[in-house]
Amino acid sequence: MEKIRYFDHAATTSVDEDVLKEMLPFFSIEYGNPSSIYSIGRHAKKAVEESRQKVARVINSIPREIYFTSCGSESDNLAIKGIAYANKCKGNHIITSKIEHPAVLNTCKSLESEGFNITYLDVDKNGFINLSDLENNITNKTILISIMFANNEIGTIQLIKDIGLIAKKHNVIFHTDAVQAVGNIQIDVKKMNIDLLSMSGHKFYGPKGIGALYVRKNIDFKKLQDGGHQEKDKRAGTENVAEIVGLGKAIEKAYDNLEYNNCKIRKLRDFYENEIEQRIPYIKFNGNRNNRLPGNSNISFEGINGEELLFKLDEKLICASAGSACSSGSSSPSHVLLAIGLKENFSKGSLRISFGKENTMDDTKYLIESLVQIIKSLRKNI
Ligand SMILES: *Cc1c(COP(=O)(O)O)cnc(C)c1O
């Protein structure tokens, strides 16, 4: 098989070799149920708790504030619905933004149909919410602010600490979807005044189907799933031990190597962007070029159809992502690109490249040469 060049780390990542190695025994010899009292049960329980400690340590929380879930989407659901249902008698107003992941947006829409009142904040052309806009929208009915840490399409990193301060000042609970941030940037839930935080294993070289939710101690939330008393009675179901172990190892390894990996990834990304900027005319960079995820690049190519571009890249075994959803042949721009006000002529041909730790300079040069050639040939047809 020819080599695949993978530049879609915001979609998912491969499982790190060391992570897989730590997981394997829990599929076979260490198959006990953490609730059982005999030795292999205790081993499983110990592994789960060690993983919880690793997660807690990295974000500066404590183990009993960490709940394991099945994915980032479940963490978002549990956070937002859990807080909403637990605070019904206090109020019914939630503030979020227009550029959230569907796991947050659709959870809010679902709550809207149950009678909750949702404010979807606008963002500026770089993808930032406006802090005074946020503060002005808080009422005495506001129970939750949910703003993503870093955006999955354009990489913009919000001013999380300032958002946390505003929430604290008004005594409103603050949740952040940090699925793109965990593993890529330093997070301190105390310093940043974060009350709840969602993460997902497969975005930082852990396995798919495992997530975690941090909830500050003393904050009550309603469980969404009834059953056994696992996860401090907040998330029923026998623990997914192997994957929990995988998530713990993955987060530990990501933060042990954070500076090294980010430096390398940023260098590749910047090289790519500089080359594209010099060699391809009529392009636009989306998002904030300074305050964004180290591996993220989102560029619009005038006159290009994003879906078509992805097919051409796929022919060259390059994996990337477009900022549009294809509906009956005509691509329409994503809600994120619409929210940052991308003009019509640019909005259909956006390319998200997300670099990861296994990418090399050779891969990057191959990507650049392929892209230059493809854009040239696609533009010949118009
Ligand atoms: C991937 C992603 C999710 C969903 O995580 P899953 O584990 O795939 O459910 C949520 N929010 C953001 C920002 C993401 O990038």
Q: How far is the CA of 228 from the centre of ligand 1 (A)?
A: 26
Q: What is the mean pLDDT of residues 136-154?
A: 98
Q: How far is the CA of 23 from the centre of ligand 1 (A)?
A: 22
Any ligand 1 atom below 6 A from CB of 48: no
Band of residue 343 on the pLDDT scale cut at 50, 70, 90: confident
Q: How far is the CA of 304 from the centre of ligand 1 (A)?
A: 27
Band of residue 231 on the pLDDT scale cut at 50, 70, 90: very high
Q: Tell me what pLDDT residue 81 has.
A: 98
Any ligand 1 atom below 6 A from CB of 103: yes
Any ligand 1 atom below 6 A from CB of 177: yes
**pLDDT of 275 above 90:** yes
Any ligand 1 atom below 6 A from CB of 184: no
Q: What is the pLDDT of residues 17-56, one digit of tens each?
A: 999 999 999 999 999 999 999 999 999 999 999 999 999 9
Q: Which of 89, 108, 319, 326 is catalytic?
A: 326
Which H/E stretch holds residue 164?
helix 160-169
**pLDDT of 290 above 90:** no
Q: Which of 148, 180, 198 to mutate to test the pocket of ligand 1 (most atoms within 8 A of CB)?
A: 180
Q: Tell me what pLDDT residue 382 has.
A: 63
**pLDDT of 285 above 60:** yes
With a pLDDT cut of 90, the percent of the chain lying above it is 93
Q: How far is the CA of 281 from the centre of ligand 1 (A)?
A: 33
Q: Tell me what pLDDT residue 348 has.
A: 86
With a pLDDT cut of 70, the percent of the chain lying above it is 97
Counts of helices then strands in the chain (DSSP H, E): 13, 15
Q: Which of 74, 96, 97, 101 to mutate to test the pocket of ligand 1 (most atoms within 8 A of CB)?
A: 101
**pLDDT of 345 above 60:** yes
Atom of ligand 1 nearest to the CA of 203: 1
108 is catalytic: no
Q: What is the pLDDT of residues 214-225, one digit of tens each?
A: 999 999 999 999
Q: How far is the CA of 345 from the centre of ligand 1 (A)?
A: 29
Q: What is the pLDDT of residues 232-269, one digit of tens each?
A: 999 999 999 999 999 999 999 999 999 999 999 999 99
Q: What is the mean pLDDT of residues 88-116?
A: 98
Q: Which of 8, 12, 73 to mutate to test the pocket of ligand 1 (most atoms within 8 A of CB)?
A: 73
Q: What is the mean pLDDT of residues 60-78?
A: 98
Domains of the chain in sequence order: 5-13+258-380 (3.90.1150.10), 17-256 (3.40.640.10)
Q: What is the mean pLDDT of residues 99-105?
A: 98
Which residue owns the Cα nearest ligand 1 atom 12?
179
Which residue owns the Cα nearest ligand 1 atom 14?
179
Closest listed residue to residue 190, CA positions, set 169, 216, 212, 157: 216
Q: Tell me what pLDDT residue 346 has.
A: 85
Any ligand 1 atom below 6 A from CB of 181: no
Mean pLDDT of all residues in the chain? 96
Any ligand 1 atom below 6 A from CB of 178: no
Atom of ligand 1 nearest to the CA of 151: 13
**pLDDT of 325 above 70:** no
Q: Are 146 and 108 in contact (CB under 8 A)?
A: yes
Q: How far is the CA of 29 from the centre of ligand 1 (A)?
A: 31
Q: Tell me what pLDDT residue 376 has.
A: 96
Name which of 19-33, 285-299, 328-342 the model is least confident about.
328-342
Any ligand 1 atom below 6 A from CB of 211: yes
Band of residue 331 on the pLDDT scale cut at 50, 70, 90: low
Band of residue 72 on the pLDDT scale cut at 50, 70, 90: very high
